[in-house]
Amino acid sequence: MVLIVKQGNPVALFTSVASNLLGGVVFPISILPTWLRYISYSLSLTWALSGLRAAMLNNYGIPQLLGYLWPLAVLTLAYLVIGISLSNYAFSRILREGTVHMY
């Protein structure tokens, strides 16, 4: 995205604020509307914070944390595929438009 819009700060600010609001940092995701809760479950921050809270507050071990770890593994693979795809698209677009010299 930064390669296309040529500014990283607004993109980073938006994603940071959105993930903090939807990831359960500011308030619990249980108070979110149902449709926002589904979006929240697609963020790795939600699963990581839930697992961390369960480990610290409930003294969960690795076997009990597997319910939090497998979504993290799936999301990691999905984010990796999406990231590689978007990077390839961005590089092909800036090469096609001839804006590579701006970097």
Overall residue count recorded for the chain in this entry: 103
Determine the structural domain holding residue 39 and report its residue range.
2-102
49-61 pLDDT, tens digit per residue, is 999 999 999 999 9
Do residues 65 and 73 touch, judged by C-beta distance below 8 A? no
The residues of the chain scoring below 70 in pLDDT are 1-8, 100-103
| Structural domain count of the chain | 1
Q: Two tokens at 42? A: 């697609």
CA 20 and chain centroid, separation: 10
